[in-house]
Amino acid sequence: MKIKKAVIPAAGMGTRFLPATKAMPKEMLPIVDKPTLQLVVEEIVEAGIEDILIITGRGKGAIEDHFDKSIELENLLRDKGKDEELEEVLKISSLANIFYIRQKEPLGLGHAVLCARQFVGNEPFAVLLGDDIVYADEPVIGQLAAVYDEKKNTVVGCQRVGWENVHKYGVVDTDDPEASVVKVKRLTEKPERSEAGSDLAVLGRYIIDPEIFEIIETTKPGAGGEIQLTDALNILASRQPVWAYTFEGRRYDVGDKLGFLEATVEYALRRKELSEEFKSYLTSLKD
Ligand code: UTP
């Protein structure tokens, strides 16, 4: 079954990035000149998925404005003959069919996903975290969709993060963390190093069976007092196969200060018009 719908939870408070995120959604933090969320939307579109639901919340109005048409700006750019900028701005508002729903309280990622129930209906759907970006030759959500096509069950996008980092992630318990597609035995949210089944962490990309919704409805708050998607996926894994797929690509957690800085530097170095000058600036810092 082709994956036709994608959900982007973007209603979190972004407390790791205060004070920048006090009035601005963290999903709008720019990587060079593009908001993080636009990079996520472009990944979905490149994978051939056209219907996108963004889960927003209070104070996230800039997200809707960004993907809307901006008539005054378009007219101004047209009048000034700024054709390249105009093309860029026009492209944003016609990227995909974008829908919005508000999560009234940030009760956790699982709760945010539950807000998508009506939009999704009874078909498998993609979930991409709004503050997670991956630089890859092939869009990561497309890579997961290909695995879904073969397995016909839920697929979680993973990478090895090193044992010293497992306490920050949802971690997969599996017999074979080396294989690129493995069956999940168990998922644990933010385990202690001694309790983690591997250092294979779930990193912001999922194709999920719709049975997840009824599971989330009865999932109790877990780590951090939040309704965790990991806990619901763990219950799903006890009812039907759930696969962990190690995706190809360089992933950045933009909601984390260091992750944001890494993304900024590496994306800037990939930009033709910036790379040379920026590289020599970075090199000069070493002296
Ligand atoms: P995070 O845990 O990174 O978001 O959730 P957060 O809660 O904003 O982070 P900090 O720790 O306070 O900095 C991953 C994604 O899930 C969304 C976030 O917006 C982010 O894109 N999310 C999280 C929701 O939509 N709702 C929630 O209740 C929690």
What is the reported pTM? 0.95
What are the structure tokens assigned to 215, written together? 């599971």
pLDDT tens for each residue of 35-68? 999 999 999 999 999 999 999 998 899 999 999 9
157 lines ligand 1 (CB under 6 A): no
Q: Mean of the pLDDT values across residues 29-37?
A: 97
For every residue of the chain, DSSP letters joined together read ----EEEEE-----GGGTTTTTTS-GGG-EETTEEHHHHHHHHHHHTT--EEEEEE-TT-HHHHHHHS--HHHHHHHHHTT-HHHHHHHHHHHTSSEEEEEE-SS---HHHHHHTTHHHH-SS-EEEE-TTEEEE-SS-HHHHHHHHHHHH-SEEEEEEE--GGGGGGSEEEE-S-TTSSEEE-SEEEES--GGG-S-SEEEEEEEEE-TTHHHHHHTPPP-GGGS--HHHHHHHHHHHS-EEEEE--SEEEETTSHHHHHHHHHHHHHH-HHHHHHHHHHHHHHT-
Whether the CB-CB separation of 150 and 3 falls below 8 Å is answered with no
Determine the atom of ligand 1 nearest the C-alpha atom of 226: 28
Determine the atom of ligand 1 nearest the C-alpha atom of 8: 21
Residue with more model confidence, 1 or 55:
55
Q: Does residue 172 have a pLDDT over 80?
A: yes
pLDDT tens for each residue of 111-163? 999 999 999 999 999 999 999 999 999 999 999 999 999 999 999 999 999 99
Q: Does residue 281 have a pLDDT over 90?
A: yes
Return the pLDDT at 178: 80
Tell me the HSE value of 281 on the side-chain side, using a 13 A CA sphere: 8
Split at pLDDT 50, 70, 90, the class of 184 is very high
Residue 30 gets the label, from left (phi > 0), alpha (psi -120 to 50) or beta, of beta
- 33 CA from centroid of ligand 1 (Å): 22
Whether the CB-CB separation of 252 and 263 falls below 8 Å is answered with yes
Return the pLDDT at 221: 87
Q: Mean of the pLDDT values across residues 196-207?
A: 95
Q: Does residue 276 have a pLDDT over 90?
A: yes
Q: What angle do CA 107, 172, 210 make, to 5 degrees?
A: 55
223 lines ligand 1 (CB under 6 A): no
Q: Does residue 287 have a pLDDT over 70?
A: no
Residue with tokens 């090895």: 160
204 lines ligand 1 (CB under 6 A): no
Q: What are phi and psi of 8, to 5 degrees?
A: -120, 105
Of the candidates 133, 97, 132, 129, which has an alpha carbon nearest to the alpha carbon of residue 113?
A: 129
116 lines ligand 1 (CB under 6 A): no
Question: Which of 64-78, 177-191, 196-210, 259-273 shows the lowest mean pLDDT across its residues?
Answer: 177-191
Return the pLDDT at 222: 84
Q: What angle do CA 99, 102, 105 make, to 5 degrees?
A: 155
Q: What angle do CA 158, 249, 208 make, to 5 degrees?
A: 40
Split at pLDDT 50, 70, 90, the class of 24 is very high
Q: How far is residue 62's CA from residue 68's CA, in Å, rounded to a whole number?
A: 10
Return the pLDDT at 249: 97
Delimit the domains of the chain by residue range: 5-284
pLDDT tens for each residue of 215-271? 999 998 888 889 999 999 999 999 999 999 999 999 999 999 999 999 999 999 999
Q: Does residue 286 have a pLDDT over 80?
A: no
Domain 5-284: CATH class, spelled out: alpha beta
Of 7, 8, 13, 27, the residue with max ligand 1 atoms within 8 A of its CB, to mutate for a pocket test, comes to 13
- 11 CA from centroid of ligand 1 (Å): 6
